[in-house]
């Protein structure tokens, strides 16, 4: 009798322990531990993520139901759910932000810039497993496929047609949602639940732009700014250069170098006048930095993961548009492809009359004729800036009466930071207790880039001394190990958000100037204040002059929605 009862007990225990749902939750728990160790996301709230577990179990159950019977059925059903987590976390590690549903459509563009090795890893780690899963689906049971997807369809309908009520419901069922930190919200509540919440918030935000569609009032506001430049402006030229991943390696507190990575010409020119500006992004999404630098409002991602994607070419009150209306010639030079990040409509809507791209990437009229980039993959700063200098020199001679906004976006320094061994060989080594071979390349690139910048600025001063020259990094690069390198080597001040800090160089009337740390969205105020000899900020109390880096997102929310509402108008 005892033996029979014992056998029943152990049979029941084995059934429980081998229950596929229990094993699936165990897999999620193990992944949470793995993620905490390798991606920096805390697993402390895993057991409290009830909504996330419910979503994950539904997905697992549905995927299990639509697969053909077999030994590996449960594992195959768990595979897409776990891959979704992995993609989330790799995206966070590489770009420093949590993946949102609207950003999924940008993933093909991000894939285009992967190295061959990274692309191969993506195919092996994601493509092949998903292919195996879809081959295992039992397509002969369409009713099960359709009925099982019904809860998901209802969820999509609810998010789309009642986003506010959905968001409210999720927040009531969730742990605290941290408004200023996607990372902390995900750590509290999970990846899928936060992705759905952020999508509902995005749809709600889109609806909220409706009251801001007042083109006459918006035009009047733009005209007020333009009129101030016409009446009070000094009509000096503006040279604004946004540099791809211009990372100053000396900002790592726990790294030393066998040779100073700062070129002597750069050090001589700028000395201690090296400022900092806070970018909205880490590791990628250059257009987000461009949006802030050019439009003067935070890149809040309320309508899209990338603000440029919303632009149709309709006019906005971004800084170039204000200058164009006040009589400036507004010219953009972009070192990469015009089809990235919806750049052409965005530049047009922002206010650029002319946009130039390398001839190898466009059939449009352009002055930019640069030699092939060779093994480095991207146009070297020195080559691009020299072409721009030649263009500016000619433009100022041909039309000296019309002031110029000269905007340049560089591309050299993009991941994976290749060096041309013939033209730019490695000349220094990084010494630290934490290895990252990409930092080694970046440090060497910085030596050559800082030399090119010093030459460009000095030559530009010779051509156009009475002007403002601003050079700013779009964002720091992800390097080889993502956020881990910045944490381990104590970047800037070792604070949690220090990896958003970037170099800012300002030259006014031929002399470098040091400003307090600011945000990228403070740059238009800096430009307009220079052009009005200080009158602009006297009227608006510009925060950057006081070193005020407290995010003013809520204060600028109406301005943001107003801009985006008109940027997205049908042409």
**Alpha-helical segments (H) within 403-546:** 437-463, 483-488, 523-531, 535-540
Q: Residue 141 burial by CB count (10 A; 0-12/13-18/19+): exposed, middle or buried?
A: middle
Helix, strand, coil percent content, the chain, rounded in steps of 5: 55, 10, 35
Q: What is the pLDDT of residues 171-191, one digit of tens each?
A: 888 888 876 467 888 889 999
Residues 513 and 468 sit within 8 Å (Cβ to Cβ): no
Q: What are the residue ranges spanned by the domains of the chain?
A: 16-208, 211-382+398-428+462-481+497-567
Residue 413 tokens, joined:
């320094």
- Write the DSSP symbol of residue 189: H
| C-alpha–C-alpha distance, residues 523 and 310, integer Å | 22
Which residues, including other chains, have CB under 8 Å from residue 452's CB and lie 6 or more apart? 380, 381, 382, 385
Q: How confident is the model at residue 201 (pLDDT cuts 50, 70, 90)?
A: confident
- Reply yes or no on whether the pLDDT at 400 is more than 60: yes
Residue of 350, 353, 355 lying closest to 330 (CA atoms)? 353
List Cβ<8 Å contacts ≥24 apart for 430-434: 430/249, 430/255, 430/256, 430/257, 431/255, 431/256, 431/257, 431/258, 432/252, 432/254, 432/255, 432/256, 432/489, 433/254, 433/488, 434/254, 434/484, 434/485, 434/488, 434/489
- Reply yes or no on whether the pLDDT at 202 is more than 80: no
Residue with tokens 């010639």: 329
CATH tag, 211-382+398-428+462-481+497-567: 3.40.720.10
Residues 307 and 299 sit within 8 Å (Cβ to Cβ): yes
- Reply yes or no on whether the pLDDT at 229 is more than 50: yes
The three-state (H, E, C) secondary structure of 505-517, written as one string: EEEECCEEECCCC
Question: Looking at the whole model, is its pTM more than 0.85?
Answer: no
pLDDT average, residue stretch 510-524:
94
| C-alpha–C-alpha distance, residues 432 and 489, integer Å | 8
Residue % of the chain over a pLDDT of 70: 91
Residue 338 tokens, joined:
């015009």
């Amino acid at each position: 009798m005892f033996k029979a009862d014992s056998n029943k007990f152990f049979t029941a225990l084995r059934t429980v322990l081998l229950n596929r749902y229990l094993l699936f939750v165990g897999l999620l728990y193990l992944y949470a531990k793995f993620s905490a160790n390798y991606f920096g996301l805390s697993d402390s709230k895993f057991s409290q993520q009830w909504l996330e577990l419910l979503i994950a179990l539904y997905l697992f159950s549905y995927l299990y139901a639509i697969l053909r019977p077999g030994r590996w059925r449960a594992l195959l059903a768990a595979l897409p759910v776990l891959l979704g987590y992995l993609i989330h976390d790799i995206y966070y590690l590489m770009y420093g932000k949590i993946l949102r549903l609207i950003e999924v459509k940008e993933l093909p563009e991000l894939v285009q810039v992967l190295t061959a090795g990274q692309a191969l890893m993506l195919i092996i780690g994601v493509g092949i497993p998903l292919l195996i899963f879809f081959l295992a689906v039992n397509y002969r049971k369409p009713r099960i496929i359709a009925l099982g997807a019904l809860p998901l369809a209802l969820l999509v309908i609810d998010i789309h047609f009642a986003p506010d009520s959905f968001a409210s419901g999720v927040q009531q069922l969730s742990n605290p949602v941290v408004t200023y930190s996607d990372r902390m919200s995900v750590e509290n509540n999970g990846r899928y639940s936060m992705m759905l919440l952020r999508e509902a918030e995005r749809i709600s935000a889109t609806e909220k732009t409706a009251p801001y569609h007042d083109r006459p009032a918006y035009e009047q506001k733009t005209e007020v700014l333009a009129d101030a430049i016409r009446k009070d402006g000094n009509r000096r030229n503006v040279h604004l250069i946004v540099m791809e991943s211009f990372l100053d390696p000396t900002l790592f507190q726990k790294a030393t170098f066998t040779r100073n990575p700062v070129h002597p010409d750069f050090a001589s020119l700028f000395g201690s006048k090296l400022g900092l500006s806070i970018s909205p992004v880490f590791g990628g999404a250059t257009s987000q930095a461009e949006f802030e630098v050019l439009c003067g409002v935070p890149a809040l991602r309320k309508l899209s993961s990338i603000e440029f994607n919303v632009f149709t070419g309709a006019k906005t009150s971004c800084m170039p548009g204000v200058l164009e209306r006040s009589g400036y010639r507004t010219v953009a030079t972009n070192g990469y492809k015009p089809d990235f990040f919806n750049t052409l409509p965005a530049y047009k809507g922002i206010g650029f009359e002319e946009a130039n791209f390398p001839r190898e990437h466009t059939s449009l009229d352009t002055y930019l004729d640069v030699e092939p980039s060779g093994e480095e993959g991207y146009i070297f700063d020195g080559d691009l800036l020299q072409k721009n200098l030649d263009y500016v020199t000619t433009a100022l001679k041909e039309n000296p009466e019309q002031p110029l906004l000269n905007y340049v976006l560089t591309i050299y320094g993009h991941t994976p930071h290749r060096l041309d061994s013939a033209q730019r060989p490695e000349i220094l080594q990084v010494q630290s207790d934490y290895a990252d071979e990409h930092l080694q390349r970046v440090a060497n690139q910085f030596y050559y880039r800082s030399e090119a910048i010093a030459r460009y600025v000095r030559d530009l001063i010779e051509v156009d001394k009475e002007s403002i020259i601003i050079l700013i990094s779009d964002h720091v690069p992800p390097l080889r190990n993502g956020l881990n390198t910045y944490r381990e080597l104590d970047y800037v001040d070792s604070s949690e958000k220090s990896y958003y800090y970037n170099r800012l160089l300002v030259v006014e009337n031929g002399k470098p100037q040091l400003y307090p740390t600011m945000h990228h969205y403070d740059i238009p105020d800096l430009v307009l204040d220079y052009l009005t000899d200080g009158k602009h900020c006297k009227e608006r109390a510009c925060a950057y002059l006081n070193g005020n880096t407290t995010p003013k997102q809520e204060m600028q929310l109406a301005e943001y929605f107003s801009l985006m509402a008109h940027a997205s108008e049908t042409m």
